[in-house]
Structure 1
Amino acid sequence: MNIEISLEHAKPQYLHYVTANTALVDPSDKTCLLIQRSTREKEAGGKWALPGGKNEHAIIQQSRQRRLRNILQIVAEKELQEEVGLAFDIDMGEVIANGEFIRTDGIPVVYTTVAAPYRSGTVTPYADDIAAYAWATEADIRTGSYDLVGDVATEVCKAIRVVCALSPNP
């Protein structure tokens, strides 16, 4: 089945970006993966954030379904793979935050953050988008070691607590 997407009759006041971020937590040392956005990025260039990105029409089109469950977890997993070369089990992902903000260019964004346990693999940052990466502890976040985007500090601390509580002792 070919899925056609049309914005012809969409009302502008309801249009916005939809993004999903992954708070990937290593329960063995209670750290969360952060990325430093490239200074070339239009929004929050040079700041530290969680890996994530925008939902794209192609995801539902490629699924060949008109309704797709867990879309934000699917987007979070896709973006984690694209940005740092890692994956997580969608069934292990826990939605820990969602909200809306207005970008500096005026575009409204609805976002979701998914916390998930890191299992294995090597972080391989996508060079065009990511300047650096780090595994941060709650103490790093609380002492302001990183210039973070938005509410990332709150989300990282919550993700570490949630994932470590759900993970068996390493």
Structure 2
Amino acid sequence: MKFKIVHVVHATIFVLAGYIYYSGIAYFIDFLRLGGYGEYDYYGIIGSLERSRSLHACILITFPLIGVFLKNKIGWLFVTSYLYLISWYSLFQFSMDEFSDFQGLVFLVTFVIVITLLLIIMNLKRVVFGYYKIDKNQSFGINILACVLGLCFSTLLYLAQNLHLLSY
């Protein structure tokens, strides 16, 4: 199997998915233990899922993980819209949060640069036309759709996590 530049993006998605699944499930288990629920308490599990919101990221990372295995427009759309979601959400966090420490700012800037490089890789001609086999006429429209989907989902995710900002 020949190495392709898109495999860097796929490896990054796999690493992110592993970390997000592990941390989401570990947080949920800790939330269950702190809530005093038993291991097989059905109502406790459902109530904890509603209150902890720890599995939202697990659900979101499933789409680009599926997109890694699809070599068509849908796969490219899933992966690219997730990268746009991460970049928009990071920019929302940067604009709303105050960075008093220099390390947090450097980490965020580095993270946005890495995501931007991954987006550039996904938009290379040999990736779009060669690997995912998207027509030249459709590539711009699908890219705009991925950007809009990423913006919408990041806005919804930010509002869901910061619902208290909407109340007066």
Query: Higher Cα Rg: structure 1 or 2?
Result: 2
Answer 1 or 2: which has greater helix percent. 2
Higher RCO by CA contacts (8 Å cutoff, separation 6 or greater): 1
The two structures have a TM-score, normalised by structure 2, of: 0.30
Q: Which has the higher strand share?
A: 1
* TM-score, normalised by the number of residues in structure 1: 0.30
